[in-house]
Structure 1
Amino acid sequence: MGEIYDSLQLKRIVFVTVGLTSFDSLVRAVDTREVREALLKKGYTHLLIQMGHDLYIPMKSAGEDGFILVDYFTFSPSIADHLRSASLVISHASSGDIFETMQLRKPLIVVVNEDLMDNHQSELAEELAEKKHLFCAHPHTLFNTISEMDTENLVAYEPGGALPVARFINQFLGFSSQ
């Protein structure tokens, strides 16, 4: 029975996406031993990183001897299949990636790129984290976020519930709410 169970062991993928831009600090953060071990302790088996124009190249791992399997790629015409197959998504703060992931009802950690000027996307991520739709982190807090997260406490995002988010964005941009 043990052999059958081992061959049927669930593949739990963490998909990391940085979009088309460079977000070396996120790639570096997921490439640390402590983050990989934290993911493994949470039951994740694979780490797939979509990189942009990043200079930092993560270390691949074949997943042997109790280590998480790690792979990466730089471009895909669509990340939709990767999002669908993921058990956890770690993403930059792109509103498109955030809402696509939440509509798929995937646990999501949004990592704020502190190097961007006028980072309005971080405010969206923080607002959605406050409503318990996702977790929000920074590259230097990613390990703690993963270690402390309980995906069972996330509240499903209802696509029809965009009105409060739209109001928040309008308020942030200085438009009157009517």
Structure 2
Amino acid sequence: MLAFVTVGTTSFNDLIREVCSDQCLKALKKRGFKKLLLQIGRGTFIPDTTSKILDVEYYKYKNKIIEDINKADLVISHAGAGTSLEVLTAKKHLLVVVNDNLMNNHQLELADQLQKEGFCYYTNCQNLAEYLSTINLSDLKPYIPGNPELFISFLDEVTGIKSLST
């Protein structure tokens, strides 16, 4: 099984450092994971790829990470809206890790709402190992994306575009 960690285009050294800790690696192994793949973005913390606990690989960026998301059994992610929705739309289990160092942390609001809806779990770096040991991924509900055509149609009506083209 594969756990994929992504921080997007940001730097989130605390998440990468914590998920690579022996405690987190052991929690993942206990859940049956064999490999940890990390997308570290602009981070300066370089993961140790010689772990005896799990096979660990990393890279900084790829044009598209959807291939890695699709291969993953669990995605551990920063709380970026785009990344969260991409993972949920791919119907993957998601554990969001909120960056407590951000000011005016809108990511916390998003993560909290997604958890309230039952689509993901969220935590912070300090509690990551505990969450990896205790969460029940089968309790998560599948995310069903909205219909963007309905929204576009609504906007067309409100702005009068639809009446002009008919």
When normalised by structure 2's length, the TM-score is 0.85
1:159 is paired with a residue of what secondary structure?
coil
Rounded Cα–Cα distance in structure 1 between residues aligned with 2:139 and 2:121: 10
Structure-1 separation of matches of 2:147 and 2:104: 26
Give every structure 1 segment of 4 or more consecutive aligned residues whose post-TM-superposition deviation is greater than 4 Å.
none
What is the aligned partner in structure 2 of residue 172 from structure 1? none
Counting matched residue pairs gives: 148
The amino acid across from 1:91 in the alignment is S
The CA distance in 1 between the partners of 2:94 and 2:50, in whole Å, is: 23
- Map of 1:143 onto structure 2: 129
Gap regions ≥5 residues in structure 2: 149-166
- Residue 36 of structure 2 aligns with which residue? 47
Question: Where does structure 1 lack aligned partners over 5 or more consecutive residues?
Answer: 1-11, 163-178
- Which of 113, 132, 155 is residue 118 of structure 2 equivalent to? 132
Residue 6 of structure 2 corresponds to 17
Looking at structure 1, the residues matched to 65 and 107 of structure 2 have their Cα atoms a distance apart, in angstroms, of 20
Q: Does residue 32 of structure 1 match 2:18? A: no
Q: Which residue number corresponds to residue 95 of structure 1?
A: 81
Instruction: Provide the rounded CA distance (Å) in 1 between the counterparts of 2:147 and 2:141.
Output: 12
Structure 2 distance, partners of 1:50, 1:61, is: 17
Identity of aligned residues (%): 36
One-letter amino acid of the counterpart of residue 24, structure 1:
N
The one-letter amino acid of 1:37's match is K
TM-score (norm 1): 0.80
TM superposition shift of 1:131: 1.6
Q: In 2, distance between residues paired with 1:161 and 1:148?
A: 34
Q: Whole-Å Cα distance in 2 between the matches of residues 60 and 138 of structure 1?
A: 23
Residue identity in the other structure for 2:133: S
Partner of 2:96: 110
Aligned counterparts of 2:42 and 2:82: Cα–Cα separation in 1 = 19
Q: Deviations over 1:34-54 (max 9, x none)?
A: 100000000111000000111
Tell me by how many angstroms 1:161 deviates. Answer: 8.1
Which residue does 1:165 correspond to in 2?
none
RMSD: 1.4
